[in-house]
Copies of this chain bind each other. A is one copy, B any other.
Amino acid sequence: MIAVFGHRNPDTDAIASAMVYASLLSRQGVEAQAYRLGELNFETSYVLRELGLEAPDLLPELKAGTQVALVDHNESAQSAANLAELAVTRVVDHHKLGDLVTSDPPFLRFEPVGCTSTILLKLFREANLAVEPQDAKLMLSAILSDTLHFRSPTTTPDDRMAVEFLAPIAGIEDVEAYALAMFAAKSDLGDTPAAQLLKMDYKVFPFGDPAQRWGIGVIETTNPAYVFGRKAELLQAMDEARAEGGLNGVLLSVVDILNETNRTFILSATEHRVVQEAFGVETVDGVADLGDRISRKKQIVPALEAYFASGT
């Protein structure tokens, strides 16, 4: 039995890809079970509710040597706590390669596309396996989520082709309407505590050498006014996250999905200076307007990497 899971603070791709990859492996005769590394966000809950599916179980503590398959991540900081003791035999991912090492030749499939599920669809087609409606809807949801329905600069022609292929199998006639419903569900944050909002889509990145560690959260929403209404609480949650994590800095980007803008909450003078020098952007009232840089992976992290690599 191989345990399949995506990153901590799972998003729709992390959950959907784990479920679909486990399904693909099972159909190829490899016993596999999908797990999650945290609570579902509102978008993912909506997708699973639409499908009448339960969420995967939380990953239990795995014994050293257990075979695992990673989807949608590969860095230990985003993975199971005892990843170094586990046997990573498979990874399907669309992120840069971090600190992963393996003790045996693995199966790795990385492509610079917008979503892990886009790669999974290729695996189905290469294996000449028909895609079931449930898997199709999971993959399609993940692609719409990761690419913000093709708005993100991470979008590739492969992602568009995958959605075109999957929509009829998933029984989705109006992809635009389905995407808006997903984004509305994601934006319906209600009385979610600020600390939870911050951590909903939050990753810790090492930058520079010796490494600084920065926490970067993203809230993708169709209702930025709601998030700005909770700015004071969120800044406090960021301050606590920085202290608890022993981090050098914390940023929280509020991405307006429909207008494709990123306004980032700035915690203190350190973040102010780094954002000023890395992006050439000023902070006003604790907010830096990062314009159309809506992709953390493609537009935020690389700029910070370049800034810290320059030895400043």
A132 interfacial contact with B, CB 8 Å: no
Asked if A31 is at the interface of the complex by the 8 Å CB criterion, the answer is no
> Which of A93, A94, A102, A302 has most chain B Cβ within 10 Å?
A102
In A84-117, which residues have CB < 8 Å from any B CB? Answer: 93-112
How many A residues touch the partner, as a band? 20 to 34
A61 at the interface (CB under 8 A from B): no
Query: Is A107 touching B111 in the complex (CB atoms < 8 A)?
Result: yes
Copies in the complex: 2
Could you tell me the distance in whole angstroms from the C-beta of A215 to the nearest C-beta in chain B? 20
Chain B residue nearest to A108 (CB atoms) is B110
Q: Report whether B101 and A97 are in contact in the complex, using a CB–CB cutoff of 8 Å.
A: yes
Q: Which residues of B contact A95 (CB under 8 A)?
A: 105
A126 CB-CB contact with B under 8 Å: yes
CB distance A112 to B103 under 8 Å?
no
Q: Are A105 and B112 in contact (CB under 8 A)?
A: yes
Interface: A305 (CB within 8 A) = yes
Q: Closest residue to A97 on the B side, CB-wise?
A: B102
Decide: A106 and B101 in contact? CB cutoff 8 A. Answer: no
A86 to B: closest C-beta gap in Å: 14
18 new A-B contacts, CB < 8 A, other than A93-B105, A108-B110, are A94-B105, A96-B104, A96-B105, A96-B106, A97-B100, A97-B101, A97-B102, A97-B108, A98-B101, A99-B101, A103-B302, A103-B305, A105-B112, A105-B297, A107-B110, A108-B108, A108-B109, A126-B126
Report A's interface with B, CB cutoff 8 A. Answer: 93-112, 122, 126, 297, 302, 305
